[in-house]
A and B are shown apart, each in its own frame.
Chain A
Amino acid sequence: MKGYRKYFTKKIIWFFITLFAAVVLNFALPRLMPGDPVAMIVSRVAQGINDPAAIRQMFESYQERFGLDRPVIEQFFIYVGNLLQGDLGLSFSRYPRPVADIIGAALPWTIALQLPAILVGWLLGNVLGALAAYIRKGFDKTLMPIMLFMGGIPAFGMAVILLAVFGITLGWLPVAGGFEQGLIPHFSWRFIASIIRHYHLPFWSIVLISIGGQAIGMRSMSIYELNADYVKYSRFMGIKDRKIVGYVFRNAMLPQVTGLALSIGGMVGGALVAELIFSYPGLGTTILQAIREGDYPLISGTALVITIMVLLAVFILDVIYGFIDPRVKATQYD
């Protein structure tokens, strides 16, 4: 157990080092973008005002309020200091709404869309891939080209196809938004039904793509494992085929678990395309707006959420992987 504690400590230290590097980048990158956010706000607010002095004063007062008149290093320490207190700052573009508030409103939509989609796509893909490897013959030969096709379509392509076919040509499902326009979010059957109807297209556009990729990966892993020496030996020791298939798929699943953890971690970034195409009110849409308007705090805030989710997913994976694969555990103890 001592070796494991050492491994665990090392992983925690690395977690914080990467987190720090990410915070620095999150702070720096938006500020390297072209365009002056304050000028953007002022030009919006100052429409109709012609007095240059008044505009200048407005500009300076905004700069002071956002702290952009101070040296960059000082801004950084203020940013980190606020972060440690859990304060992500105020949004520039939706001033004076706090960034945490904006993220808090968008995140549930993203998670509710992505998490089930990733899990369903992962499960279906793995089951189909495993079956293709085990049954072979016609099933494999018809399924695999379909999977390759689905896995090969870029995310936006799949979303646009679904949108065109089911949303526009057939007109079965609404093409945009998280719920019917004009409805006020509240707890009622009508509102829930509306959410579910709007959910279908973005959900399936994500599921279909991940099924393809997962099935292809699982199929190759399963074929590899099915030909392993232990399969032959287990057969000759009289063990039932069904039990051996259990051994094989458990082992073939292991690399797939890594893929699952990474897609859950990268969920927010992965949501971008589906959310944008279907104008879904999630974090992806928020990020795009923030970038368009040079909203430093909001960009940093959303990027931080993404970073933390990816880092956490990798960290959790590192820690639990040893329990699901004894070969990895052996290296953790070293």
Chain B
Amino acid sequence: MGKIMLEVNGLTTKYITRYNEDVYAVNNVSFKVEEGRSVGIAGESGCGKSTLALSLMGYYFAPLHYMKGDIIIDGRNISGMKPDDVRKNILGSEIAYIPQAALNALNPTRKVIKFIEDVVRVHNPKMHKKEIYDLARERFETLNLPAETLNKYPVELSGGMKQRTVIAISTILSPKVLIADEPSSALDVTSQKMVIKMIHDLMELGYIKSMIFITHELPLLYNVTDDIMVMYAGQVVEYGSAEQMVFDPLNPYSKGLMGSILVPEDGTRDEKIVAIPGTPPNLKNPPDGCRFAERCKYAKPHCRVYHVELTELSNGRASRCITSEQELREAYKNE
């Protein structure tokens, strides 16, 4: 077992709405990421994936608020730290973020290199312009990005270039954990491929030590990450290796999610599209018992009554379902 780069214990965060209602978008989430490994987070929209990404940074601003839990990066617990210390010592250098809308993530009136200077100087205020430029150029070149990009304004870059530039900027300080929130969702397939290759390179060259990759595209996760974690209504519902999760999902929700993927095979056009019926519950008043029961076709009356915890199974997997593994497998087989 490798060194643990990121350990999250019972992390709970909430949004406070304009009407002073609490929305627990991340509820008691725990997981670990080892050095050199990557975890994918999947789920429908509104399941708390992006909120989890924001919560992991340990730097909160309204309407998101920290409630409880620990975020431990390479042995250092950042959840009790003062916001300004997190900003100066953690963000960018220990844990870095690639935003969902990377296309607008750069200030349109600031040259790329100027922004890199601002980022680097948060941690090394005295670093000389020339040194920063050399660092940035070397990093860009290693990642197959043209060095001229540095002297351009974001408007002068194409969508794919902008995305890769943002990734290069996010990782310029070689963070231990990289959180990528749908970094390739808005891109065409070629740019998507380049982004994925770049992330692979970053891992391989050791510029990042571990990664959390969030997406709703499950086939992509199978190609990119080692493990997959499925979220539903702010909770983790299943955790396992990418292989297990894609080919042998156990939790009914994960099963439904994988079943909804359209594969371009013969007959797909005529087949009925399988999707999970209904929508995720409103997190202002989450249902009692299992949060998925409402939409689950294997649900039994007691599912709506008893609260279920994430339970460890064999082979390092975990699932949140009151029905036993055998029973579920039986039910799946009979379909």
Contacts and interface: CB of A to CB of B under 8 A. Distances in A.
Interface of A: 228-230, 232-240, 243, 247, 250-251, 254, 325-327, 330
Contacts of A330: 153, 155-156
18 contacts: A228-B104, A229-B101, A229-B105, A230-B104, A234-B107, A234-B118, A235-B61, A236-B96, A236-B97, A237-B96, A238-B87, A239-B119, A250-B109, A251-B107, A326-B108, A326-B153, A327-B108, A330-B156
Contacts of B90: 238
Nearest to B97: A236
B23 interface: no
- Sort chain B's interface into a size bin: 20 to 34
B196 interface: no
Given A238-B123, A239-B118, A243-B118, A233 B99 contact: yes
Given A229-B99, A233-B166, A239 B122 contact: yes
B199 interface: no
A238 B119 contact: yes
B88 interface: yes
Contacts, number: 73
B40 interface: no
Interface string B76-120: 000000000001101111001101011011111110000100110
B59 interface: yes
A299 B59 CA distance: 64
Given A237-B92, A237-B119, A230 B105 contact: yes
Contacts of A239: 118-119, 122
B102 to A, nearest CB: 8
Contacts of B87: 238, 240
A326 B115 CA distance: 15
- Say whether chain A's binding surface is mostly helix, strand, loop, or mixed: helix
Given A229-B101, A326-B155, A330-B156, A240 B122 contact: yes
B27 interface: no
B210 interface: no
Contacts of B61: 235
A324 to B, nearest CB: 8
Contacts of A251: 107-109
A110 B294 CA distance: 74
Contact of A325 (B92, B109, B119): B109
Interface string B238-268: 0000000000000000000000000000000
Contact of A237 (B102, B109, B170): B170
A236 B101 CA distance: 14
Among A230, A232, A234, A330, the one with the most B-chain Cβ atoms within 10 Å of its Cβ is A230
Nearest to B106: A230
A236 B91 contact: yes
B169 interface: yes
B318 interface: no
A301 B106 CA distance: 49
Contacts of B123: 238
